[in-house]
């Protein structure tokens, strides 16, 4: 029953969505989902030292007030979630050779194991960007905003890709 409803919705979207419009939506979704992830990875890099500094530095100033801002502590779980969201984005990217890996896995393991591994892997890859976004909403970290936006857009990328791809190939 649910499968029939999904197929009807997919056929309706194929009729409703022109292939050129589907291509524009897919390209915009790919770029929009990748940009916050790249920005979050760039935020994790250490800051460069300012140019033209002397070896000895400025003379020490004595003050009772805190003058330098300490770098914000890195949240290891947020970095793990960013890595999972990036992996999810990369593996859903169009043209990634996932079929070759599945055929290789089928030669090593029994078919029942491969089916469960694929099901669990896809569930993990769909859930992790949403979990990354929810975690960043609840807990502040240095990559909070890019992780929220990137997680939501990667989740949308996973959910909308089958419909947009079917509209593209239905020429």
Token look-up 């790249």 returns 38
Sort residue 46 into left (φ over 0), alpha (ψ -120 to 50) or beta.
Answer: beta
The model's pTM: 0.77
74, 44 Cβ separation under 8 angstroms: yes
pLDDT of residue 131: 94
Task: Give how far the C-alpha of residue 139 lies from the chain's centroid of Cα atoms, to the nearest Å.
Answer: 18
pLDDT of residue 71: 56
Residue 42 token pair: 């760039």
CA distance 60 to 72: 24
User: Average per-residue pLDDT in the chain?
Assistant: 84
pLDDT of residue 147: 94
165 band by pLDDT with thresholds 50, 70 and 90: confident
Radius of gyration of the chain (CA): 22
- pLDDT tens for 33-42 read 999 999 999 9
Q: How far is CA 66 from CA 50, 75, 122, 141, in A?
A: 20, 23, 48, 22
129 band by pLDDT with thresholds 50, 70 and 90: very high
pLDDT of residue 112: 86
- pLDDT tens for 59-115 read 666 666 665 555 567 788 999 999 999 999 998 888 888 788 888 888 898 888 888
- pLDDT tens for 9-53 read 766 666 677 888 888 999 999 999 999 999 999 998 887 766 666
């Amino acid at each position: 029953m649910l499968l029939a409803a999904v197929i009807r919705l997919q056929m309706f979207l194929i009729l409703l969505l022109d292939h050129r419009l589907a291509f524009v939506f897919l390209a915009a979704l790919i770029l929009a989902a990748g940009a916050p992830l790249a920005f979050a990875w760039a935020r994790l890099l250490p800051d460069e030292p300012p140019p033209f500094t002397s070896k000895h530095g400025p003379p020490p100033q004595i003050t009772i007030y805190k003058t330098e801002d300490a770098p914000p502590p890195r949240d290891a779980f947020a970095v793990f979630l960013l890595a999972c969201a990036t992996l999810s984005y990369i593996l859903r990217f169009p043209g990634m050779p996932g079929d070759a890996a599945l055929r290789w896995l089928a030669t090593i393991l029994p078919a029942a194991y491969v089916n469960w591994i694929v099901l669990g892997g896809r569930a993990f890859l769909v859930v992790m960007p949403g979990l990354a976004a929810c975690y960043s909403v609840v807990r502040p970290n240095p990559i909070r905003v890019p992780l929220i936006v990137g997680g939501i857009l990667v989740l949308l990328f996973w959910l909308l890709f089958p419909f947009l791809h079917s509209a593209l190939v239905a020429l």
